[in-house]
Amino acid sequence: MPFEPLTHDPAVEVSQATDVARDVVVIANRGVELVPNIGVIGGAHSVLVVDTGMGPRNAEKVLAFAAEYAEGRRLYLTTTHFHPEHAFGAQVFAGAATYLINRAQAADLADKGPSYLDMFRGLGAPVARQLEGVELVSPDTVYDHDYELDLGGRVVRMTATGRAHSKGDQVVTVPDAGVLFTGDLAEAGQFAIFPWFPPYDTDVSGLRWIEVMRRLIAGEPQVVVPGHGDVSGPGLLADVRDYLELLRDETWARRDSAVSTDTVVAEVEALMIERHPEWAGRDWIAKGVGCLCAEHADSPQ
């Protein structure tokens, strides 16, 4: 997510929908910042939508696409996490779909949603326009850790991962198709970026993020749909894991040497950029270093 004003419209284009498996469609983000990959997953009697796009106008397009795709099947909605481009269109689905998310994400939405709405409105006029009329709505169904949704001949699994990119991160798995929706736990293609540790939150976790990626890799998905960027394969998960492990090891080695925090940040930033010169979001390396320094200080010695 950027911190400088956007000049383009973060608009979802449903014409970019592509099949990634049987009855699994991704509305691709087309390389546009603040537009997520949106999933539409079908079964015999129901269809699940994964993420809404930013604001009611984007969500209206997604709902119209999903309703036409469903052809009378019941609609459900879930969101990978509470950030505005993923969840701040849920109000449009009220009465048309059952909205279900994990308990930690529901708490994130209630506790942080208003402040994120204000923050994102400051990211430029195009973003502010998309956020006009946003109402933050409560989910219809809340689960604690795992939720299996029967769509009819296909069971989709929603799993709360614990705090990583956010406190309420959730992945969505379509086991029979080998498809995994990661949200912003992974991003790819021209959106290959240094994992984003939100500087506004104190409850993100570099260590937990590593654990999450290891678990996702162990699940052996065939198709990985990242929060932003190109649909990929399991190698994307390994790339994120390897980066986070390297960030941890290099940060902790320098922290143990008792050098200043500024020196730790500067040296680790330089190394990470050398390893991944093509990745965007270089400003976010320091946030990850700070997170890991804090976790190292709190860990038993």
Q: Which residues does 159 contact at the CB level (< 8 Å), separation at least 6?
A: 145, 146, 147, 170, 171, 172, 173
Q: Which residues does 133 contact at the CB level (< 8 Å), separation at least 6?
A: 55, 56
Q: Is the pTM of this model over 0.85?
A: yes
Average pLDDT on 244-262 reads 87
Tens of pLDDT, residues 218-240: 999 999 999 998 999 999 999 99
Task: Determine the pLDDT at residue 300.
Answer: 53
The domain locations on the chain are 14-234
Superfamily holding 14-234: Ribonuclease Z/Hydroxyacylglutathione hydrolase-like (3.60.15.10)
Q: Dig out the tokens for 73 from the structure.
A: 């099947």
Q: Name, of 33-37, 139-143, 186-190, 270-274, the range with top average pLDDT.
A: 139-143
DSSP, collapsed to helix, strand or coil, labels residue 116 as helix
- 11: pLDDT strictly greater than 60: yes
Task: Determine the pLDDT at residue 301.
Answer: 47
